Amino acid sequence: MSVIVRNLAKHYGEHKAVNQISFEAKPGRILGFLGPNGAGKSTTMKMLTGYLQPTSGEAEIVGKNIETAPLEIKKLIGYLPENTPLYVEMYVKEFLGFVAETYGLKNKSQRVEEVIKLVGLTQEQHKKISMLSKGYKQRVGLAQAIIHQPQVLILDEPTSGLDPNQLSDIRTLIKNLGSDRTVIISTHIMQEVEALCDDVIIINKGSLVANSSISDLKKAHPNLSLEDIFKTLTR
């Protein structure tokens, strides 16, 4: 269930948005994908999920190549983009039923009920998505990402803009989801990394500047907080 990236690159003319990065994300360990705004995080995630074609390099999701098996990979991945794409005029339960149908799930109704309960949407399931708070919209986004029981979860800024109570709930949910699958979280919030992640990669100006477990990264910089390590590596 691992994600393996080898020399992945995306260029726009002379601009190297992602510059030959390599890393591995392993099942049962949550990988934090860090970098300042514009570092290339979202571009990398879009390549991994098949929304952008790489300029060069390759990536494998659960042993399948992102360029030669894009449709198969989309079935294996759950993706939550930074700006969650929701049909806001649909009701929560209706929307999740629609997503389940697009994946061709046989047990559609049962699975919708399961994810509604799992992400804490029971009280909101009969509301229009447009009526929900940002926190509950984020839960709907997570529900659509996991409804087909993907082996790999790719989450781009999953806790952005949430209040403290929502933050705690979503963190707990992500940790539970990461116990038996591969999870990659893109963020620039150090508290999120400390709370959620086992491993970390840091990207700056398109290039990889760190790739290790959080504990090893701290050992390598014993007098610095994780936030200070990040600032040092991304100057």
- pLDDT tens for the chain, residues 1 to 235: 689 999 999 999 999 999 999 999 999 999 999 998 889 998 998 999 888 999 999 999 999 999 888 888 888 999 998 778 899 999 999 999 999 999 999 899 999 999 999 888 999 999 999 999 888 898 899 999 999 999 999 998 888 777 787 788 888 888 888 888 999 998 877 888 888 999 999 999 999 999 999 999 999 999 999 989 999 999 8
Per-residue pLDDT, 101 = 94
Q: Which two structure tokens, joined as six digits, stand for 17?
A: 């948005």
- pTM (predicted TM-score): 0.90
Give the angle 68-150-115 at the CA atoms, nearest 5°: 150
* SS3 (DSSP) at 23: strand
DSSP conformational letter for 90? S
Per-residue pLDDT, 116 = 95
The residue written with tokens 């309960």 in the block is 117
Residue 78: alpha-carbon gap to chain centroid: 8
Per-residue pLDDT, 1 = 66
Q: Please report the sign of the dihedral spanned by the C-alpha atoms of residue 186, residue 190, residue 193, residue 195.
A: negative
Domains detected in the chain: 3-233 (3.40.50.300)
Contact predicate 116/100, CB 8 Å: no
How far apart, in whole angstroms, are the C-alpha atoms of residue 119 and residue 228?
Answer: 33
* SS3 (DSSP) at 56: strand
Per-residue pLDDT, 217 = 92
**Diameter of the chain by CA atoms?**
54
Q: What are phi and psi of 46, to 5 degrees?
A: -65, -35
Alpha-carbon distances, residue 123 vs 5, 8, 202 (angstroms): 40, 43, 38
